[in-house]
Amino acid sequence: MQPSAIVENYTFQNLIAPLSVDDFYKEHLGTAPAFIGGPDDKFSALWSWKDFNLILGKTRHWSEHTCWLTQNAIPISTDLYCYDSLKRDLPGIQRPNFEQVGEAINGGAALFLDRIETLRPTIASTTANLRSKFGATITGRLSFTKDSQLLRQSGFESNDLLLMQTEGELSVQLFEGCSENPLAEPDNAPVSLPQEDINTLCGDLAAEISMGPGDLLYIPAGQFFNATTTPGPSVQLQFTIRRSTGLDFVDFLLQQIPDEPLFRADMPFFDEPEAIKLRIDAMAEAIQVRSADWNIPATYREQRRQEALLAPLSPLGLPRPNSITKFRRKNVNFILEDINRSWQVTGPNGKVAFTKQQKKVCDWLLEQDVFDVRRFEDVFHNNTEARQIILDLVDAGILEAV
């Protein structure tokens, strides 16, 4: 394939290009896989061998929970490549011995590195963009094999998956079977079933996809699939997208109700079925009546917003700590029009007019998922008019400060 233009800040649109975000939402999100082929160097600014070795040097990050090995998709005992250590708060922990890890990889093992979403600046900025776009918790994982082997047994993920091939090749089989709204265990892993039962639930083979560097595959939660690497070094970068569910709202609700005395009172004895029913009815009515007082919809939205938009890396950015204000482009429709030798963008709350000379600024702002003033100033130096466009787009309901 031909080389692509190198991208330093990967928005979601950059990741899935040439597929548009609108088409992704309409045709794939939560419902159907999407394979997007790309140039070999599409993700070269996002991840490299240098990044790989740099994060391995962050030794305090790695434990049996964030660094593990498998052989043909079967976990290898951590006793074979970890040693006992202590965390700063003293609980026991196992940490990888990388000499033993290297020997295992040479022997055909697959390496998995988890929770990498904040370990490199490009990964962190991409994580921030995905959080803004999906309003969801995003986690990153890296996998590496030196030889051909089964990387993932047939099964499904409990969260949506963005799978990017950055080195070597990978073969992915997608099956007809799909688990609807799969339930995750506390560690966000799918509820476990015997492998024989999973193989039965997979159904017929729907597609077999060969992935090379620059290719991306979106796999919705519950979609049955497996993955096998080919001979030679093979690296996969994965982002899991944990979107909020009704169960998350129930957890949120449980945080609100202790302030209501009715919920702190003892429940009736189990020999009093009518009293139990009356109490449950009273609590249900209390939630409905107090919903306005507790301002539940707005409070829930704000909590989700804060969780999704929390910066994955410190935004202090010395020596310019006065430029950390962040903005995000909201998931709203807008119209950009050429009107009488000038331009106009219409958002949910109004219209913004700007000159042809200012269009470059507007285009840049509309292409972002999330950005801070510092990065904006690096692109548009000391441009007062350009900064005014940010405020105008906020007034139009297209951007918001976060």
The CATH number linked to 163 is 2.60.120.650
The answer as to whether 2 is a domain residue is no
Q: What is the mean pLDDT of residues 373-395?
A: 87
331, pLDDT greater than 70: yes
Give pLDDT, residue 332. 92
Same domain, 213 and 345: no
Report which of 362, 401, 315, 386 is spatially closest to residue 125, judged by C-alpha positions: 315
7, pLDDT greater than 70: no
The answer as to whether 314 is a domain residue is no
The answer as to whether 117 is a domain residue is yes
Give pLDDT, residue 281. 95
In this structure, of 32-36, 66-70, 101-105, 179-183, the range with the lowest mean pLDDT score is 179-183
In this structure, of 100-114, 212-226, 255-269, the range with the lowest mean pLDDT score is 255-269
Report which of 329, 332, 374, 380 is spatially closest to residue 359, judged by C-alpha positions: 380
What are the percentages of helix, strand and coil residues in the chain, rounded to 5?
A: 35, 30, 35
Give pLDDT, residue 171. 97
Same domain, 194 and 93: yes
Same domain, 127 and 48: yes
Same domain, 219 and 290: no
Write down the pTM of the prediction: 0.87
Backbone angles phi, psi at 147, to 5 degrees: -130, 165
Q: Which helix (H) or strand (E) holds 367?
A: helix 359-367
Could you list the residue range(s) of the whole structural domain that residue 163 is in?
12-242
β-pairing verdict for 82-86 and 92-96: antiparallel
188, pLDDT greater than 60: no
Same domain, 189 and 156: yes
Number of Cβ atoms within 10 Å of the Cβ of 205:
11
pLDDT tens digits for range 280-326: 999 998 888 877 777 888 888 888 888 887 765 555 566 665 556 78
Domain boundary (198, 219, 242) is at 242
Q: What mean pLDDT is reported for the chain? A: 88
